[in-house]
Structure 1
Amino acid sequence: MFGAAARRLSTVPTVSSVARRAFTASAAPAYQPRLSLHYHNTVRDDLTILEYLPPKVHEQQQAVEEARMQAVREKVTGTPPNPDKKHKKVRQRKPGVPAARAHNAPYVEGITVHIRCREALNNKHHLLSALMALQVITGVRGEVIKAKNDAATWKLRKGMPIAAKAELTGDQMYEFLDKLIEVVLPRMKEYHGLRMDAGDGNGSFTLGFDSSAIGLFPEMEIVYDQFPLITGFSVNIKTTATRNPSGRLLLSGLGLPFLHARKPESESFEL
């Protein structure tokens, strides 16, 4: 009898074991960027529905795409190169078009902010201003980019520092993209959106801004007068989309505006 009672008492969890389990339990993150929540709660499901194709139609598109790429390869590799004619490089595209499912919906993979400083050719200390401005608007310490080749026209030699860049991923990426879409772009008077034919064919997009746009960031407004040199910058948004239409759907769902081409006046008519 005493042995059975002892066994029952041994199965009762003690305070230390309960506290240990509570301490080791993985808690949910206390903060998530607004744009990240918007993507996971709304945009991802919408992309899955908009890009869904029946299996037979998807297989037909895959076959057409493979035949087209095979024809391009045969055309490039089958003809002998002409030394008097410059041949264009064949752009390496992402293999295949995956079927639209919830687990492989396109998402923003990373953002690269790039600042080129021409004044650094004469004085490399001007690049410090670009590095500090890059750190202010992104929250990430920038990386110096050096020239890979010589250019006599620009008095450029190999190894000279000419630009700076910062690569963003995770929460910092979503926070920067949120500020760019909700704060900076609406305050630009002459910006109407990305062109519909923008993109590199693999779902990545690049936005270019002049020197006046960098002062529209909230963090930059306070310390704008402390920078002796302000230059323009470019933002490259890398997505996992395999084609430009998928990338446009993704960025449009996140709030990035796109500019539709207007019809010529000759085609317009009045009722």
Structure 2
Amino acid sequence: MFGVKSMRSAVASTASKRLFATSIAQAYQTRLNQFFHNTLRDDLMILQYVPPSVRARQGAAEETRMKEAKESMGGTPPNPLRKHKQIRRPKPNVPVPTAHNTPFVDKVTVHIRCREALQNKHHLLSALMALQILTGERGEVLKAKNDAAAWKLRKGMPISAKVELTGDNMYEFLDKLIEVVLPRMKEYHGLKMSAGDGVGNFTLGFDSSVIGLFPEMEVVYDMFPLVTGFSVNIKTTAVRNPTGRLLLSGFGLPFLHARKPKSETFDL
């Protein structure tokens, strides 16, 4: 009898726990994440819209360009100046912008190099600690893939560290970089318009002095004398550089327009 009562009480307590069980979830969104979903995504969809007539003309012009390039390569007689010239690859087809294929930031990779790690691999600990302070995540050690005798580098030696950020941690890091670090840099006007890898990804390189501009590193900057610099790679889902620039400029990342030098005139 006692066993039956204890079993019933155990079942009742389990049911009550199941009934009132709650899961702890994040109750807020980062500023950039909320700004993207509430404002920037709709603006990007409008700015990328191309009328069907214009899209058809662009496709016809691209086909004509490719056809003329192939004919010039294999003419009769063949042009010796174009014998070894490669045909420029066709531009990627940009899909019609909708709410489902709007480009967004997919991943941010922070990479720190440490030259002193070639002599002593324990010096790489400073780079790992700096990454953890900057991003809040533990870094990954990168090893050399090939030998380089000029740098006294052998295959398998640890040389640098990196962290791949996604989700809210990615947006928080971008927010600090754009709103706090870049405005405090001297003589920084922005990325060049020619920057990018052609498919909407961008890389920013900084020296060791920029690490001290992060709020988390201001107090402990003197503890990392071996960190020589770091780079930030921003990977987006855009298929072209203009689309990626449009996305990052919406977040506030500055881009520098090339200015032609003014011609100086002298009055005689």
TM-score interval for Structure 1 and Structure 2 normalised by the shorter chain: 0.7 to 0.9
Question: Where does residue 130 of structure 2 map in the other structure?
Answer: 133
Structure 1: 4+ residue segments shifted above 2 A: 26-29, 55-76, 87-96, 225-228
Given that 1:97 and 1:242 are in contact with CA atoms closer than 8 Å, whether structure 2 keeps it comes out as yes
Return the letter of the residue paired with 1:174. Answer: Y
Instruction: For 1:74 and 1:240, locate their aligned partners in 2 and report how far apart those are by CA, in whole Å.
Output: 34
Question: Is 2:119 the partner of 1:122?
Answer: yes
Tell me the amino acid that sits aligned with residue 102 of structure 1.
A
- Write the distance in 1 (CA, Å) between the matches of 2:123 and 2:90: 38
Q: Aligned-pair distance for 1:71?
A: 8.4
Q: How does 1:51-200 map to 2 (within 5 A)?
A: 51-62=48-59, 64-65=61-62, 95-200=92-197
TM-score of the aligned structures, taking structure 1 as reference length: 0.78
**RMSD, aligned α-carbons:** 3.2
* Equivalent in the alignment of 2:245: 248
2:212 paired residue number: 215
- TM-score normalised per structure 2: 0.79
Shift of 1:58: 2.3
Matched letter for residue 40 of structure 2:
V
**1:156, 1:28 → 2: CA distance?**
46
| Larger CA deviation: 231-240 vs 88-97 | 88-97
Does structure 2 retain, via aligned residues, the 8 Å contact 1:93–1:202?
no
Letter of the 2:196 partner, please give it.
G
Letter of the 2:137 counterpart: V
SS of 2:110's partner is: strand
Separation in 1, partners of 2:258, 2:127 = 35
2: distance between equivalents of 1:75 and 1:124?
55
Asked if 1 retains the 8 angstrom alpha-carbon contact of 2:144 and 2:154, the reply is yes
Structure 2: segments with no counterpart, 5+ residues = 1-14, 74-83
The Cα offsets for residues 13-66 of structure 1, whole Å up to 9 and x where unpaired, read as: xxx99x95x968x99841110011111111111111111011232244345556
> Do the aligned partners of 1:115 and 1:165 also contact (CA within 8 Å) in 2?
yes
- Provide closer, same or farther for how the CA distance between residues 127 and 64 of structure 1 changes in structure 2, counting only shifts above 3 A: farther
For 1:133, give the aligned amino acid. Answer: A
* Cα distance change of structure 1 residues 44 and 127 upon mapping to structure 2, 3 Å threshold: same
Task: Indicate the percent of aligned positions where both proteins have the same amino acid.
Answer: 73
- Secondary structure class of the residue paired with 1:219: coil
Secondary structure of residue in 1 paired with 2:96 = coil
Task: Report deviation, 1:262.
Answer: 1.5
3-state SS of 1:216 partner = coil
2:11 aligned partner: none
